[in-house]
């Protein structure tokens, strides 16, 4: 049962693959639609500009694939741009249309003398929901961010965690089979690896005492 | 509302067996890994390029790489391999237009390492001391678009005798971008002293030899910096 990491030419995928392997899950980097749709779980990574990411997804004919994978209900993890792309549009060199899978838009941190943009470094996530992906992740745990834009979901119930950088923004979302984070779990030390491990467990449907306790934490 | 993160981050310098050492610091909770290609710094060779690529790809924490980065292409290559940030050294003094171009293409990803001996910038793996003043040079780097200065006092490096607080603070105060202090950290006291200079703009510290000798334990250093 392997996890497909979508390769659309944006970003270093090896860290994500190695992270998943480190916590015991097989992960394949691929841009083949059939392999992606056949996988037990899918990861959409992404770094760089929103428009360039959408362009590449289009060039590699992966837009429909992403829609189908999400609709299929199989576990889906978006990382960084891979979270932003799920929304309707971004103002980065925009407005640029996104995948429109989730309602809301992507906006830029406002430049101010005392606010560093891009938001780069370790910052705390505050839990607003309890998806299995965040099990074992403490409220206030530090994770690693690199971004200038952040999502603003139209539906507040999408927000799984918030983080403060000038403003309080949604740092991860959760809905059904989709979990996505603005931060990079593959660069977030043991906290990030725990999130990847949780995702792997969701994919393989493994259950144990820890997962069973998730609903109450 | 406090807007700046301003948290001290303890990074580490790698030694003999890079991947194993990297994994050790990762396991001990390092927030960043500071990787220096010494061969690259001295002679610009590619001998370490593969191992650096592996470090960037395999370790689950942000990595900054410096040493022998002399072209924009090499900077881009490292970022594409997964480095979080690259550090220019010699070339920032001798060919500032390269730094400018790299900052343009990789916004937020380019730092400059200033290694100084008595306030004068040393280059080429510390084999030469220039006549350039370190603080003035730091200002020029900021103008070129660098996102951070990593300041190493060579006379302290490896001594575990304590960082050069005065000069590092003065340099940090004279620029708007943050400074990573490096060179001479020998005890938790040094980290605590640096933490008190955070308002000057020093928001990170690199601990090298002291970690390898055991004089400082990484977990305690991170706690002292928090």
Domain containing residue B135: CATH number = 3.20.20.70
Cβ-based burial of A164 (10 A; exposed 0-12, middle 13-18, buried ≥19): middle
Residue B117 lies in a domain: yes
Give the mean pLDDT of chain B.
Answer: 83
On whether any CB of chain A is under 8 Å from the CB of B17, the answer is no
Separation in Å, CA B175 to CA B85, B91, B143, B178 = 19, 20, 10, 8
Counting the structural domains of chain B, the total is 1
Chain B residue with Cα closest to A47: B80
Type and span of the H or E element at B150? strand B148-153
In a domain, B41, yes or no: yes
Question: Among residues 93-132 of chain B, which lie with CB inside 8 Å of chain A?
Answer: 107-108
Per the annotation, the verdict on A186 as an active-site residue is: yes
Does any domain span residue B3?
no
Strand order in A104-108's β-sheet? A96-97, A89-90, A104-108, A149-153
- The answer to whether B26 contacts chain A (CB < 8 Å) is yes
**Per-residue pLDDT averaged across B167-185, rounded?**
89
Question: E strand or H helix at B52, and its extent?
Answer: helix B49-58
Confidence of residue B125 (pLDDT cuts 50, 70, 90): low
Q: Is the pLDDT of residue A44 over 90?
A: yes
pLDDT of residue B5: 22
Evaluate whether residue B74 is within a structural domain.
Answer: yes
Interface of A with B in 109-128 (CB under 8 A): 112, 114-116, 118, 120-123
Active-site residue (options: A89, A92, A135, A186): A186
- How many residues comprise chain B? 226
Topology, domain A3-209: Rossmann fold (3.40.50)
Residue B69, domain member (yes or no): yes
Contact list, B52 vs chain A (CB under 8 Å): none
In a domain, B202, yes or no: yes
Domain ranges of chain A: 3-209
For B48-135, list the strands marked E by DSSP.
63-66, 85-88, 110-117, 120-123, 128-133
Using CB atoms, which residue from B7, B81, B108 is nearest to A118? Answer: B108
Residue ranges with strand state E in chain A = 3-6, 27-30, 41-44, 76-79, 89-90, 96-97, 104-108, 119-124, 126-127, 142-147, 149-153, 159-165, 167-175, 178-181
Which of A164, A166, A192 has the CB atom closest to B60's CB atom?
A: A192
Residues of A in contact with B62 (CB under 8 A): 144, 187
Kindly tell me if the per-residue pLDDT of A47 is higher than 60: yes
User: Residue B104 domain-assigned?
Assistant: yes
* 3-state SS assignment for residue A194: helix
- Does residue B4 sit within a domain? no
- Name the residue range of residue B199's domain: 9-225
* ipTM for the assembly: 0.80
What confidence tens digit (pLDDT) does each residue in B43-86 have? 778 888 888 889 888 899 999 999 889 999 999 999 988 899 99
b (16+ CB within 10 A) / e for B56-82: bbbbbbbbbbbbbbbebebbebbbebb
Q: Of the candidates B98, B175, B95, which has an alpha carbon nearest to the alpha carbon of residue B142?
A: B175
């Amino acid at each position: 049962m392997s996890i497909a990491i979508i390769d659309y030419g944006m970003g270093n995928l090896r860290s994500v693959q190695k992270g998943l392997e480190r916590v015991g899950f097989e992960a394949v980097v691929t841009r083949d639609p059939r392999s992606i749709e056949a996988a037990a779980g899918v990861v959409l990574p992404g770094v760089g500009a929103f428009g360039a990411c959408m362009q590449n997804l289009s060039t590699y004919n992966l837009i429909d694939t992403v829609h189908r994978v999400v609709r299929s209900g199989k576990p889906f993890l978006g990382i960084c741009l891979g979270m932003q792309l799920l929304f309707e549009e971004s103002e980065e060199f925009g407005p640029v249309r996104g995948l429109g899978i989730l309602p809301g838009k992507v906006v830029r941190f406002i430049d101010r003398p005392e606010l560093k943009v891009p938001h780069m470094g370790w910052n705390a996530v505050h839990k607003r929901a309890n998806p299995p992906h965040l099990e074992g992740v403490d409220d206030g745990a530090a994770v690693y961010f690199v971004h200038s834009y952040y999502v603003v979901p139209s539906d507040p119930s999408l927000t799984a965690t918030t983080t403060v950088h000038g403003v309080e923004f949604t740092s991860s979302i959760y809905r059904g089979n989709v979990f996505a984070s603005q931060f990079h779990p593959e660069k977030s030390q043991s906290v990030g690896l725990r999130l990847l491990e949780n995702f792997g467990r969701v994919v393989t449907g493994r259950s144990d005492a820890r997962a069973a306790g998730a609903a109450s934490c | 509302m406090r807007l700046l993160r301003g948290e001290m981050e303890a990074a580490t310098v790698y030694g003999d067996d890079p991947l194993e050492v990297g994994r050790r610091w990762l396991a001990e909770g390092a927030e960043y890994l500071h990787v220096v290609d010494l061969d690259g710094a001295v002679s610009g060779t590619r001998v370490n390029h593969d191992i650096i690529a592996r470090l960037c790809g395999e370790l689950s924490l942000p990595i900054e790489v410096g040493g022998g980065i002399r072209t924009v292409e090499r900077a881009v290559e490292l970022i594409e391999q997964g480095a979080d940030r690259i550090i220019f050294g010699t070339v920032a003094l001798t060919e500032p237009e390269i730094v400018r171009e790299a900052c343009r293409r990789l916004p937020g990803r380019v730092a400059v390492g200033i290694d100084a001996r008595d306030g004068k910038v040393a280059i080429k793996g510390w084999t030469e001391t220039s006549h350039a003043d370190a603080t003035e040079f730091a200002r020029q780097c900021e103008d070129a678009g660098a996102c951070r200065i990593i300041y190493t006092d060579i006379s302290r490096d490896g001594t575990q005798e304590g960082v050069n607080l005065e000069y590092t603070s003065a340099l940090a105060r004279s620029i708007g971008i943050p400074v990573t202090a490096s060179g001479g950290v020998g005890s938790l006291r040094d980290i605590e002293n640096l933490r008190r200079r955070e308002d000057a703009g020093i928001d990170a510290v690199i601990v090298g030899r002291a970690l390898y000798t055991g004089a400082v334990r990484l977990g305690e250093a991170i706690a002292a910096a928090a």
